[in-house]
Amino acid sequence: MKISFLCMDLSDNSLGRAALLARVLSRHYEVELIGPAKTGGVWFPLRDLGLPVKLFPWRRYPGFACTARDMLKAIEGDILFACKLRPTSFGLGLLGKLRTGKPLVVDIDDWELGFFCHTDFWGKLGRFLNLSNPNGLPYVWLMEKLAGLADAVTVSNRFLQGRFSGELLYHCRDTSALDPARHDPLKVRRRLGLEGKKIVMFLGTPRAHKGIDDVADALSRVRSADAHLVLVGVDKNFSFPEKWSAIKDRTTLVPQVPFEELGDYLASADVVAVPQRQTSDTAGQMPAKIFDAMAMARPIVSTRVSDIPEVLSDCGYLVAPGNPQQLADAIDRVLEREEEARRKGQMARDRCVRLYDIKVLEERLLSVVSKVARKSN
């Protein structure tokens, strides 16, 4: 049996979740990933994915109609697996299901409409009238209304489960690969020239809803003069904000790195900061980097947003969202109480191995796929 993963955009970080699911199922079935690529190539951290990828040009309407036609023709799978409630993935899956009768699974890892909610009236109106964008607001709204047409639904957090039902599948990790025993904590420190520094690490694209400004503000309040912020995954067009000028000399920017090097970077961190803000953008998000840091036994400072308190339990340091002073206090505690922080990190890894290892995901995902396959037969 073959499964076709339909991806919203092969060139951005949404590929991370799709690749995780595809890799798990590739141990049991043939898989392929199909989708448009807005920037023309596969997302850099997964450029060596090692799975069959069918990439198509990103176009606005009316040109995207031709792209959609070509993608539909390219689908070879017996089961369609759409990643995200977006027209370029789930919409394509609905068309494929209608045309061929093949079963359709949809994985939802974000509340897509939430990304449109934080603007004012005129911003929402402008987005609603942006009809040439295949993933524009009116089409995304329609996808949410049609979610019930899928033969099965999987979700990444409880907010989405409450909204769409479905099987809860957290962003699990291969804890045998992300194992601190396999990574040299000094390797990246030497490369970056940060020996002797206390590294506060932020993973992923620095965006407001992810709390990047709160991290920057917190660093200026941290007591340790050796505290140094390392941002890993910065876009090449990123420019250092003027409001961060006070910490410019204590910040290192690292571009996107291949997933294979992620463990080396995490091994160098004294603390990993995941300060999600409480917004419509984050209501339906569960940050994947939480699981990366847990697997690598890193002390984690995060916020009480979405499922983070449940996932971390007592294995991390939780503060109120949007509160730089609390964030700074938590970072201070990690840096000043090293043995306590080490224990917390090990507890986080033990919890990740037990509850969020890729083997746990494999068992649950296979159950979903086998049920869909039986229904279709």
Q: What is the pLDDT along the chain (377 residues), one digit of tens a residue?
A: 999 999 999 999 999 999 999 999 999 999 999 999 999 899 999 999 999 999 999 999 999 999 999 999 999 999 999 999 999 999 999 999 999 999 999 999 999 988 887 666 656 666 666 789 999 999 999 999 999 999 999 999 999 999 999 999 999 999 999 999 999 999 999 999 999 999 999 999 888 899 999 999 999 999 999 999 999 999 888 888 888 888 999 999 999 999 999 999 999 999 999 999 999 889 999 999 999 999 999 999 999 999 999 999 999 999 999 999 999 999 999 999 999 999 999 999 999 999 999 999 999 999 999 999 988 77
d(CA 155, CA 170): 8
- Please report the pLDDT score of residue 123 as a whole number: 64
Alpha-carbon dihedral 6, 8, 11, 14, rounded to 10 degrees: -100
Reported as half-sphere exposure (CB side, CA atoms, 13 A), residue 305 has a value of 26
Reported as half-sphere exposure (CB side, CA atoms, 13 A), residue 373 has a value of 13
Q: One fold for both 2-172+358-376 and 180-355? A: yes
Q: Quote the tokens at residue 307.
A: 């499922």
Provide the 10 A C-beta neighbour count for residue 376. 13
SS3 361: helix
Class of domain 180-355: alpha beta
Instruction: Specify the DSSP class assigned to residue 257.
Output: -
Q: Quote the tokens at residue 244.
A: 């961060």
- Please report the pLDDT score of residue 281 as a whole number: 86
Collect all residues with Cβ–Cβ distance below 8 Å to 3 and sequence separation of at least 6: 22, 25, 29, 30, 31, 32, 77, 78, 79, 80, 81, 369
b/e map 50-86, b = 16+ CB within 10 Å: ebbbbbbebbeeeebeebbeebbeebebbbbbbbbbb
* All structural domains of the chain with their residue ranges: 2-172+358-376, 180-355
Collect all residues with Cβ–Cβ distance below 8 Å to 368 and sequence separation of at least 6: 105, 152, 154, 167
Is residue 254 within 8 Å of 234, Cβ to Cβ?
yes
CATH 3.40.190.10 fits 2-172+358-376, yes or no: no
Give the helix/strand (H/E) hosting 83.
strand 79-83
Is residue 326 within 8 Å of 298, Cβ to Cβ?
no
Instruction: Specify the DSSP class assigned to residue 175.
Output: T
- The number of angstroms, rounded, from the C-alpha of 76 to the middle of its chain's C-alpha atoms is 27
∠ CA 84-53-60, nearest 5°, is 55
Q: Specify the pTM.
A: 0.94
- Please report the pLDDT score of residue 245 as a whole number: 86
Collect all residues with Cβ–Cβ distance below 8 Å to 63 and sequence separation of at least 6: none
Strand residue runs (E) in 204-250: 227-234
- Please report the pLDDT score of residue 126 as a whole number: 64
- Please report the pLDDT score of residue 31 as a whole number: 99
Relative to beta strand 227-234, strand 251-255 is parallel
